[in-house]
């Protein structure tokens, strides 16, 4: 995103030639010129002002050069080591200017008035310095340095340097380019280069030999502390400066501005004849102390967050570098998800720990001090307060424990999301079977449980009871005790201060505990074993490309060896084929050559550079071109040659943007064969010396494989002079290999050329015989549709555009362009969706709030507002009562009616408590009502959407709506609203109290309120966008991590570690550029708001002093102690407001799908459809036409056709001919664009979708199962008896399998049916069809899914069981439909031939040609 400016001329040229050229001119010609002047003397000229000016300016210019020299020497010393030029240039320039001054003086003495010589020098100097000037200007324009460097002291303290960005964000939505560059000390390069050395030395100190278990445990324990030590050493000093600032708050909070100055002020109010200046002095003192406190506090927080940010960068960098060198044994212990988790979750925990760490030891000190002051004020009765505090601790702990038990809500949520994920993945099946309702019920079941848990958890909120206990006890202990203003309000202030550390402490403790766990996990990972550099010797051998001498290798140190007694000598430039059965160690052999395995004994050496093609192609989320070039410069002719050799050119023609098409994660939009070929092209492009190819031809078609072998690998290929080691299963290539190695159970049993091995009659000859027979058997079925899965963004995504067929014959590539139309649309959609969180306009926000409150319902909102008002009223009365009590005159050392006062005080306190409880519960319940409605609407809208909706909407986005957005509506919005409303009313109460005491305060409060609203609106706008930018820049980091971990072996083989590390650094830095302003924004806001708040305090205090004679101390105490809370209240309002603002967008995102197109109604009310329909099963198409989307080509045009009852019809045709579209039309997955379909004389367009889909059956191409019991998968509505289910299983040949399962029908299928084999899943789908047994069966034949055995089973069952039904088969293998009554041959959307198979063959038309290709005639 940051454009790097490259000057037109190199830096070297600018610093040498351009500087030296004018200088050399002057120095070379100066002697001759001096000589000339010496000869021509025209008398001396007097010194004029012009001459003086010239001389002074000249000396200034010269001095600049010397200054620059010292600057470079001190500041940029690391650059000098590489380039002394930087130092030389300024010195040469300065000396030359001095020479020019001397010449000016010489000319003056010799009487020369104008000088061509000097004029030319100055022109040359100016012209030559224009180029560097331009480069510097452009550099300055592109650089966007962080203003904090040049900010003044005051600006740094108050964060005013940040204001520019806030204003910018308020005016226009922020872009990534608007953010400042990271400061040098925050960049990955700087942080990690320092840290890495330290960490390596720390690691080396850890016990080197950990053979014993005990030491291993010790190592895991100590690795966490090691990491902490290293981090502390690097970031400690800076963190300590922050802690010093924090400790400065301590004295401030000891003589806490509030209690201290408050008591002084109240003492002043009580004194009759105190001078006024004292009052003003106390008021100002209060103001200054509060200001100081907020300044120190925020500076400290700023330091913490900066350290946190650096720790995050450091840990990410270390984990990333580790993932490139970790060995396979350690790699197997942690999944990719866990490694990404280390980077996302654990680094976050460490950041939190940095911020809250000091609270762990400071909070107890603060608590102790507060209690000490309370004791001083109130004597023994303070013990009551202390006791209450101590009691409230376990109570809160108990409630917290209860609530964490209720975190089961999370469990239900996980269940719900998992189910939603499956629904979205299998939505096509749900629509075919009309099962949406059953799954809707299941999701809502989870949702109800989730909301129930949520409700319970919300009601467990606690009520504060401290103050009531304390003052009550104080009066009851002793009649002589008098509550006066000073005691009441100072104690109240102290209690308020107590609340902060009390709430912080548990939080700080838990953060620390979590951080310790995270440190251990990170330490364990960072200390795990690495690959040894000496596994492979890179020796310049003579004649041999690869040499393994008596090698024994294993994957883990302790594990059994995977390769034994390996002796391989690969001559340079030869082709070696490695063959063997599955699991015989072929890939391990290549890994051993790469040094990826543990070397137990022997030696491995490789000559020159290596290129590696793994068995499972690893594709980066980048363009095709980037994947092939893999960090090398582009050489056009070579690049084209490579693409041609790897048969990629036809594929590139289909891709929407050719070789600049972006490939999705893990190569989503490429087929298996294409991925494999891109992976091969990457290796070929390298021009390496040794090629290790792990079965690169497995995923491609036979004829493409042959092409690649001839053009790339074989004796005439591009790589003919290179050393090639090829693992292969393809027999046809073996005769051309120079040497064949036969592996059996990790040992090389035979080696030699093809002819030698055949004549030996050993394992190799058997191997050839076995495969040759298979090859022949396969070729019959293969050629019919040479199967290569080509294209398509995820299976569900483009299923319909591909017309549900992924198996495309590569000869018919042009047809595929049809499918790539939607690809453009999709790419557009995806790009739009990637920026999922967009800037929302204010009026839209308002609509969202209205929408949300409408969902809760007016009936609920009015009581909520009323309850809030009541709560604040009670609180006001309760505080006012205290102030009246404090003003009571003292009679004989006691106050009158203490009991009555205490009772009223208690009653008011109690009322306030009840009101608080009421409001929290009311808002929670309201929030739950809203989220129930919103989720229900979302779910119904999504399930009622047509298939085309799911194809253009990435399932990730839909899942995000169900997970993150619904979670925000469940928890974040109600919590935010609760806080916001609570504090808003509290603020009103404070304003009322201050105005009651001093009505004049209104004059101050109003302008402050306006200022506050102003600051707040600026902040909210910017904060929202920074949050968006930060989350958008975060996911590329995880994508990159994910890719790197999966492709580590390829990256290592190609030696590209450094480039990937640089890329990772860039991504982390890019993310930090938006994270840094995000936390500074919060500080900026807080500091500025607290000053506004402190202004209110100052106003209240000064006005009280001015009205000393008319005001009672009680009301003053009330006003001042309340105004002291303003700062806290203000910052909380903004924080909760920002939270609500950021989360209210979720309401709109959830509502988004309410307006998308929906499919027809599921059931038509009062329809007269007979229950047994369809009785005969005749189907009639009348001039039927179909389009995937308006504006696209017709998928079917003008189909007219009648299918009689009990007829068996096969539908055949090339890919894209419209076979599957017929099935989609019958099920109304796509609605007719013209014409009708009649089943049993009923127009299917006039009945409900579920009525239609539940009365006809399909056996789909890809068998989809849902997680749940086997029974649920066969019959989600529980409409059939167990007997019926068992009989259908028996007919589907599954009875034995199911009855041997532990839970029989209740056997839990895993997600997607992973724990059943593909063939078994196909049979389950057959059982579903047998269970429904409708009159019409559509069979979308599975192509590559099933082995021949299962296929024969399915075919025979269908022939017997569906004898009296109409069967439509969409056939890919022609032998299955040879005995059908009719065959329809489709071509480009219309019927080209239709007759019985025998007639069609005798007609010698298209069908005959297809049969001939398949070898059936």
Q: What's the pLDDT score for residue 233?
A: 84
Q: What's the pLDDT score for residue 814?
A: 31
Q: Is the pLDDT of residue 822 over 70?
A: no
What is the rounded distance in angstroms from the CA atom of residue 1262 to the CA atom of residue 1215?
Answer: 17
What is the rounded distance in angstroms from the CA atom of residue 959 to the CA atom of residue 1045?
Answer: 25
Mean of the pLDDT values across residues 1344-1372?
A: 75
Mean of the pLDDT values across residues 885-914?
A: 67
What is the rounded distance in angstroms from the CA atom of residue 1270 to the CA atom of residue 688?
Answer: 53
Query: Which structure tokens are listed for 61?
Result: 């210019």
* Residue 890 banded pLDDT, cuts 50, 70, 90: low
Query: What is the DSSP code string of 152-166?
Result: -HHHHHHTGGGHHHH
Q: What's the pLDDT score for residue 894?
A: 58
Mean of the pLDDT values across residues 176-196?
A: 87
Query: Which structure tokens are listed for 839?
Result: 């800037």
Where does 897-965 have alpha helices with state H? Answer: 898-943, 947-952, 955-960
Report pLDDT digits (tens) over 1005-1030. 788 788 888 887 888 888 878 887 88
What is the rounded distance in angstroms from the CA atom of residue 1292 to the CA atom of residue 1121?
Answer: 81
Q: What's the pLDDT score for residue 206?
A: 67
- β-bridge mates for residue 752, sequence order: 740
- 3-state secondary structure string, 603-657? EEEECCCEEEECCCCCCCCCEHHHHHHCCCCCCHHHHHHHHHHCCCHHHHHHCCC
Which are the contacts of 828, defined by CB distance < 8 A and separation ≥ 6? none
Higher-confidence position of 521 and 1262: 521
Q: What is the DSSP code (8-state) at residue 1162?
A: S
Mean of the pLDDT values across residues 1044-1059?
A: 89
Q: Is the pLDDT of residue 820 over 70?
A: no
Nearest CA to 677 out of 653, 698, 692 is that of 698
Burial 243-282 (b: 16+ CB within 10 A, else e): bebbebbeebbeebbbbbbbbbbbbbbeeeeeeeeebebb
Query: Which structure tokens are listed for 445?
Result: 């079941």
Residue for token digits 């550390």?
501
Q: Are 1112 and 887 in contact (CB under 8 A)?
A: yes
Across 240-249, 297-306, 598-607, 691-700, least confident range? 240-249
Question: Percentage of the chain surpassing pLDDT 70?
Answer: 79
Higher-confidence position of 1290 and 1344: 1290
* Residue 691 banded pLDDT, cuts 50, 70, 90: very high
Q: Are 282 and 261 in contact (CB under 8 A)?
A: yes
The continuous run of DSSP H or E covering 690 comes out as strand 690-694
Query: Which structure tokens are listed for 634?
Result: 């582009």
Q: What's the pLDDT score for residue 777?
A: 38
* Residue 259 banded pLDDT, cuts 50, 70, 90: low
Are β-strands 1257-1259 and 1336-1340 bridged in parallel, bridged antiparallel, or unpaired? parallel
What is the rounded distance in angstroms from the CA atom of residue 720 to the CA atom of residue 712?
Answer: 8
pTM for the whole thing? 0.69
Which are the contacts of 57, defined by CB distance < 8 A and separation ≥ 6? none
Q: Are 1232 and 1245 in contact (CB under 8 A)?
A: yes
Residue for token digits 């050229």?
21
What is the rounded distance in angstroms from the CA atom of residue 1054 to the CA atom of residue 628?
Answer: 12
Across 250-254, 1256-1260, 1302-1306, least confident range? 250-254
Q: What's the pLDDT score for residue 362?
A: 79
Query: Which structure tokens are listed for 51?
Result: 């001459």
Query: Which structure tokens are listed for 199?
Result: 């960490």
What is the rounded distance in angstroms from the CA atom of residue 843 to the CA atom of residue 1000?
Answer: 37
Q: What's the pLDDT score for residue 651?
A: 80
Mean of the pLDDT values across residues 623-631?
A: 88
Cα-based distances in Å from 798 to 343, 421, 819, 947, 1227: 33, 18, 8, 10, 18
What is the rounded distance in angstroms from the CA atom of residue 143 to the CA atom of residue 146?
Answer: 9
Report pLDDT digits (tens) over 148-160. 888 888 888 888 8
Query: Where do the DSSP E strands lie in 214-262?
Result: none
Q: Is the pLDDT of residue 781 over 90?
A: no
Q: Is the pLDDT of residue 212 over 60?
A: no
Calculate the CA 1416 to chain-centre distance. 53
Q: What is the CA radius of gyration of the chain?
A: 40
* Residue 250 banded pLDDT, cuts 50, 70, 90: low
Angle, helices 436-459/898-943, rounded to nearest 10 degrees? 170
Q: What's the pLDDT score for residue 1058?
A: 92
């Amino acid at each position: 995103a940051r454009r790097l400016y490259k000057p037109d001329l190199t830096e070297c040229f600018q610093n040498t030639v351009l500087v030296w050229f004018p200088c050399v001119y002057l120095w070379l010609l100066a002697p001759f010129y001096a000589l000339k002047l010496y000869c021509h003397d025209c008398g001396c000229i007097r010194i004029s002002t012009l001459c003086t000016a010239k001389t002074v300016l000249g000396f200034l210019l010269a001095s600049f050069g010397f200054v620059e020299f010292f600057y470079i020497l001190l500041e940029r010393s690391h650059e000098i080591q590489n380039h002394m030029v930087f130092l030389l240039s300024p010195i040469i320039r300065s000396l030359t200017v001095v020479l020019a001054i001397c010449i000016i003086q010489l000319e003056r003495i010799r009487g020369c008035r104008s000088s061509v010589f000097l004029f030319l020098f100055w022109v040359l100097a100016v012209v030559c310095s224009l180029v560097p000037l331009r480069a510097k200007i452009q550099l300055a324009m592109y650089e966007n340095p962080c203003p904090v460097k040049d900010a003044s002291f005051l600006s740094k303290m108050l964060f005013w340097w940040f204001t520019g960005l806030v204003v910018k964000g308020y005016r226009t939505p922020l872009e990534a380019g608007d953010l400042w560059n990271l400061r040098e000390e925050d960049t990955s390069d700087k942080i990690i280069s320092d840290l890495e050395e330290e960490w390596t030395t720390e690691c080396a100190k850890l016990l080197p030999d950990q053979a014993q278990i005990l030491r291993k445990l010790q190592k895991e324990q100590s690795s966490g502390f090691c990491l902490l030590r290293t981090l502390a050493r690097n970031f400690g000093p800076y963190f300590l400066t922050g802690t010093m600032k924090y400790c400065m708050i301590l004295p401030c909070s000891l003589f806490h501005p509030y209690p201290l100055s408050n008591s002084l002020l109240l003492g002043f109010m009580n004194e009759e004849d105190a001078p006024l200046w004292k009052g003003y002095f106390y008021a100002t003192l209060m103001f200054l102390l509060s200001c100081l406190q907020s300044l120190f506090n925020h500076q400290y927080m700023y330091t913490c967050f900066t350290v946190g940010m650096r720790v995050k960068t450091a840990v990410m960098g270390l984990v990333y570098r580790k993932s490139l060198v970790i060995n396979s044994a350690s790699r197997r212990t942690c999944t990719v998800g866990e490694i990404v988790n280390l980077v996302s979750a654990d680094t976050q925990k460490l950041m939190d720990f940095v911020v809250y760490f000091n609270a762990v030891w400071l909070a107890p000190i603060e608590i102790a001090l507060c209690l000490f002051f309370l004791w001083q004020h109130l004597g023994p009765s303070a013990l009551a307060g202390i006791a209450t505090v101590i009691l409230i601790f376990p109570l809160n702990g108990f409630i917290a424990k209860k609530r964490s038990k209720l975190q089961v809500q999370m469990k239900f949520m996980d269940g719900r999301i998992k189910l939603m994920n499956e629904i979205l993945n299998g939505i096509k099946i749900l629509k075919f079977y009309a099962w949406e309702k059953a799954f809707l019920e299941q999701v809502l079941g989870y949702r109800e449980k989730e909301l129930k848990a949520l409700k319970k958890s919300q009601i467990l909120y606690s009520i504060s009871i401290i103050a009531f206990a304390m003052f009550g006890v104080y009066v009851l202990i002793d009649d002589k005790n008098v509550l006066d203003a000073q005691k009441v309000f100072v104690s109240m202030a102290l209690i308020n201060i107590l609340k902060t550390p009390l709430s912080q402490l548990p939080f700080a403790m838990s953060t620390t505990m979590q951080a310790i766990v995270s440190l251990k996990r990170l330490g364990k990972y960072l200390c795990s074993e690495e690959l040894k550099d000496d596994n492979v010797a890179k020796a310049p051998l003579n004649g041999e490309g690869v040499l393994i001498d008596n090698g024994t290798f294993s994957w883990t140190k302790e594990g059994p060896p995977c390769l034994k007694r390996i002796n391989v000598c690969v001559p340079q430039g030869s082709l070696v084929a490695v063959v063997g059965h599955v699991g015989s160690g072929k890939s391990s052999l290549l890994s051993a050559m790469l040094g990826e395995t543990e070397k137990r004994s022997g030696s491995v050496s490789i000559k020159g550079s290596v290129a590696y093609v793994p068995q499972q192609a690893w594709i980066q989320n980048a363009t095709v071109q980037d994947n092939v070039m893999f960090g090398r410069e582009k050489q056009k002719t070579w690049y084209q040659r490579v693409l041609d050799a790897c048969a990629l050119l036809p594929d590139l023609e289909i891709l929407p943007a050719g070789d600049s098409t972006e490939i999705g994660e893990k190569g989503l939009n490429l087929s298996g064969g294409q991925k494999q070929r891109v992976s091969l092209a990457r290796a070929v492009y390298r021009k390496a010396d040794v090629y290790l190819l792990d079965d690169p031809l497995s995923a491609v078609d036979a004829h493409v494989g042959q092409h690649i072998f001839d053009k790339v690998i074989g004796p005439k290929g591009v790589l003919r002079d290179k050393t090639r080691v090829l693992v292969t299963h393809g027999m046809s290539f073996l005769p051309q290999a120079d040497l064949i190695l036969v592996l059996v159970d990790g040992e090389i049993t035979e080696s030699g050329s093809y002819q030698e091995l055949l004549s030996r009659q050993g394992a190799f000859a058997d191997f050839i015989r076995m495969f040759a027979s298979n090859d022949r058997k396969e070729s019959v079925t293969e050629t019919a549709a040479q199967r290569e899965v080509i294209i398509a963004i995820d299976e569900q995504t483009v299923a319909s555009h591909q017309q549900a067929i992924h198996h495309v014959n590569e000869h018919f590539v042009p047809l595929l362009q049809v499918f790539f139309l939607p690809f453009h649309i999709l790419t557009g959609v995806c790009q739009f969706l990637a920026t999922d969180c967009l800037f929302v306009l204010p009026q839209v926000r308002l609509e969202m709030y209205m929408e949300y409150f409408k969902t809760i319902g007016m009936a609920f909102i009015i009581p909520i507002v009323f309850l809030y008002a009541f709560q604040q009223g009670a609180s006001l009365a309760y505080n006012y009562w205290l102030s009246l009590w404090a003003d009571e005159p003292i009679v004989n050392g006691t106050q009158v009616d203490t009991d009555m006062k205490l009772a009223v005080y208690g009653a008011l306190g109690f009322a306030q408590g009840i009101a608080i409880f009421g409001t929290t519960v009311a808002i929670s319940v309201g929030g739950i009502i809203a989220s129930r409605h919103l989720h229900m609407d979302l779910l119904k809208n999504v399930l009622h959407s047509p298939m085309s909706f799911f194809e253009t909407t990435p399932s990730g986005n839909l899942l995000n709506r169900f997970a993150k957005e619904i979670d925000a509506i469940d928890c974040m919005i109600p919590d935010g609203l609760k806080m916001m409303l609570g504090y808003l009313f509290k603020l009103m109460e404070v304003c009322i109290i201050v105005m009651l005491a001093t009505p004049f305060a209104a004059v101050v409060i109003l302008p402050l309120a306006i200022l506050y609203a102003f600051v707040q609106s600026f902040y909210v706008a910017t904060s929202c966008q920074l949050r968006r930018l930060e989350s958008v820049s975060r996911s590329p980091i995880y994508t990159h991590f994910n890719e790197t971990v999966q492709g580590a072996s390829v990256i290592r083989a190609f030696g590209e570690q450094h480039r990937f590390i640089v890329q990772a650094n860039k991504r982390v830095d890019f993310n930090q550029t938006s994270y840094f302003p995000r936390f500074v924004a919060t500080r900026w806001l807080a500091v500025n708001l607290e000053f506004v708040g402190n202004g209110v305090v100052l106003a209240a205090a000064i006005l009280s002093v001015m009205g000393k004679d008319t005001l009672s101390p009680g009301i003053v105490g009330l006003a001042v102690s309340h105004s002291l809370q303003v700062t806290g209240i203000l910052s909380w309002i903004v924080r909760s407001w920002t939270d609500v603002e950021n989360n209210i967008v979720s309401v709109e995102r959830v509502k988004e799908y309410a307006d998308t197109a929906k499919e027809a109604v599921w059931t038509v009310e009062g329809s007269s459809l007979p229950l047994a329909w369809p009785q005969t099963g005749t189907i009639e198409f009348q001039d039927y036409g179909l389009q995937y989307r308006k504006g696209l080509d017709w998928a079917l045009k003008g189909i007219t056709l009648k299918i009689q009852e009990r007829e068996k019809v096969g539908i055949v045709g090339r890919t894209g001919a419209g076979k599957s579209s017929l099935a989609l039309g019958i099920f109304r997955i796509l609605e007719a664009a013209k014409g009708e379909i009649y089943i049993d004389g009923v127009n299917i367009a006039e009945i409900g979708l579920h009525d239609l889909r539940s009365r006809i059956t399909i056996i789909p191409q890809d068998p989809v199962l849902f997680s749940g019991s086997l029974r649920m998968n066969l019959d989600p509505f529980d409409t059939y008896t167990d007997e019926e289910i068992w009989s259908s299983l028996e007919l589907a040949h599954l009875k034995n399998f199911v009855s041997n399962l532990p839970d029989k029908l209740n056997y839990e299928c895993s997600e997607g049916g992973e724990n059943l084999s593909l063939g078994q899943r196909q049979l389950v789908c057959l059982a579903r069809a047998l269970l429904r047994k409708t009159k019409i069966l559509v069979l979308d034949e599975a192509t590559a899914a099933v082995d021949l055995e299962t296929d024969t089973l399915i075919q025979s069952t269908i022939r017997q069981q569906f004898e009296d039904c109409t069967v439509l088969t969409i056939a890919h293998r022609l032998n299955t439909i040879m005995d059908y009554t009719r065959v329809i041959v489709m071509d480009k959307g219309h019927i080209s031939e239709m007759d019985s198979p025998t007639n069609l063959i005798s007609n010698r038309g298209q069908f005959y040609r297809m049969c001939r290709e398949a070898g059936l005639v």
